[in-house]
Amino acid sequence: MDPTRLTLVEQTRLFKSGELGAVELVEAHLARIDRLDDALGAFLAVDADAALACARALDARRAAGEALGRLAGAVIAVKDQIVTRGLVTTAGSKILAGWVPPYDATAVARLRQADAIVIGKTNQDELGMGSSTELSAFKPAKNPWDLARVPGGSSGGSAVAVAAHLAAAALGTDTGGSIRQPASFCGLVGVKPTYGRVSRHGAIAYASSLDQIGPLTRSVADAALVLEAIAGQDPHDQTSLPMPAPGLTAIGPHVDLGGLRVGVPDEYLGDGVAPDVRERVRHALARLSDEGATVVPISLPHTRYAVATYYLVATAEASSNLARFDGIRYGHRAAAPADLAELFSKTRAEGFGPEVKRRIMLGTFALSSGYYDAYYLQAQKVRTLIRRDFDQAFAAVDLIAGPTSPVTAWPHGERTSDPLSMYLADIFTVPASLAGLPALSLPVGRDAHGLPVGLQLVAPPLQEVRLLQIAHGLETLLGRESCPFGAEVAA
């Protein structure tokens, strides 16, 4: 048996029962990373020594009959946007090259408390800005379903690591789709929790009113298990909600989909959506109907303003958040500046890539005196209208469904020279982010090129359990599919 082919739930079960050793698990994953990651570019740092030390300690604790956490033995990768104590963290940017954080993000600390094994840090678009992981300052990541195509982004490295079985699960961050869209492009489950459900402490801030940490996994049950471990209030994040974590145990083996009302927004299946994507989404909805669910056409009329609104709010917040990268506190510092002003400007000119600079300029402009009312304030008002669209829809339906992305994974280079075409691909993920709602991407088959298609499910605030239950039910109906990349490589 190759332990890297198991789901996270299976890995932890076999570890706890004594059928699989933690060292054996870690070694199998490290061997795959060694063999395959040069071609994939999933990892920016692999923490082999620490992962093996952690595994040895776990094996000893199990041998001694000690109590084990719910993620014991699970090999998990962490997006480089999330800080890890003692392990270099760059958020895919030269401005943080070589930075070793002195603390763990709360989500990472909670993974460790649950006895998960952190195997390394994953590649991403610089500071979370992008939808393809081509905008990493270090290297692009490749989609394991087709190496000529992008894995999505910005959490592309996390998606590649899990889809190619280099880790059982990964953490990502999602500001406007960065968990859901790469999950969709790589055939995975990706969950963006309700805003405030998971602590942002230690997630390097992109847009603070939108950022959330969440899991990318190969099954819904795996996602639930990871989310359960990382969620819950945190004194280090004043926006974290005082709610208990949603749990795997609430999902149950069988889910009744009868009576469920699923809203499908007209705006989500229009002409801009690739025909194969539409067909796969319709097929998944038909399976829900077969089980007794009612599919209700709805409207989210402000959807067409969502991309513009998102790129004003997100860049405005980013322009402020990124002020901390000044060459004084951490990371890159320009050599031999003439004075303090030049230290700041040279450090930032050298450290940030072109997309990050574009967004700092956009955001600074949108917040500047004379333009604030016309852009930032207006965007905030439209954000409220987008939220109201959802409030009204949820008066009549339990859940909203549609494609996660209008297209499947595109070829490398296709959108890098045209930032607007990259932004427009976020059309279906940014609305739930602006509204703070929990949303999940579930694989629902593949297009004519064999590329995965994702179905996005959006639930009312804090209804992660319901969201995961329904996704689990649909996953059971549709079956799970494993990416064949590197399947022949024995552990």
Footprint on this chain of ligand GLN (rule: CB under 6 A): 128-131, 154, 173-178, 206, 314, 426
Q: Which two tokens stand for residue 18?
A: 């004594």
Closest approach of Cβ 227 to ligand GLN, in Å? 17
Element (H, E) at 402: strand 399-403
Supply the DSSP symbol for 168. Answer: S
Spell out the residues 6+ positions from residue 358 whose beta carbon is closer than 8 angstroms to its own.
419
CB 12 within 8 A of CB 71: yes
**368 has catalytic annotation:** no
**Pair of tokens at residue 11:** 């890995």
Amino acid at the residue 245: A
CB-nearer residue toward ligand GLN: 415 or 466: 415
**Annotated active-site residue in 79, 121, 142, 192:** 79
Catalytic residue among 93, 132, 136, 154: 154
- The minimum distance between CB 174 and ligand GLN, in angstroms, equals 5
Query: Is 178 marked active-site?
Result: yes
Smaller CB separation from ligand GLN, 7 or 212: 212
Q: Which is nearer to ligand GLN, 122 or 154 (CB)?
A: 154
Greatest CA separation for the chain: 71
The least CB distance from residue 2 to ligand GLN, in Å, is 33
DSSP 293: -
CB 439, min distance to ligand GLN, A: 12
Q: Between 42 and 129, name the residue whose CB sits nearer to ligand GLN.
A: 129
Please say if 94 is a catalytic residue: no
Cβ atoms within 10 Å, residue 90: 26
Q: What is the DSSP string of 57-102?
A: HHHHHHHTT----TTTT-EEEEETTB-BTTB---TT-GGGTT---S
- φ, ψ of residue 367 to 5 degrees: the values are -95, -5
Residue nearer to ligand GLN on the CB measure, 55 or 207: 207
Helix (H/G/I), strand (E/B), else coil: 1: coil
Provide, rounded to whole angstroms, the least separation between the CB of residue 196 and ligand GLN: 16
Which C-beta is closer to ligand GLN: that of 130 or that of 327? 130
- Kindly state the tokens that stand for 91: 């958020």
Q: How far is CA 221 from CA 89, 177, 251, 469, 472, in A?
A: 29, 21, 8, 9, 7
For ligand GLN, the nearest residue by Cβ is 178
Q: How far is the CB of 28 from ligand GLN (least distance, A)?
A: 31
Catalytic residue, from 178, 219, 405, 441: name it.
178
Q: Which are the catalytic amino acids?
A: 79, 154, 178
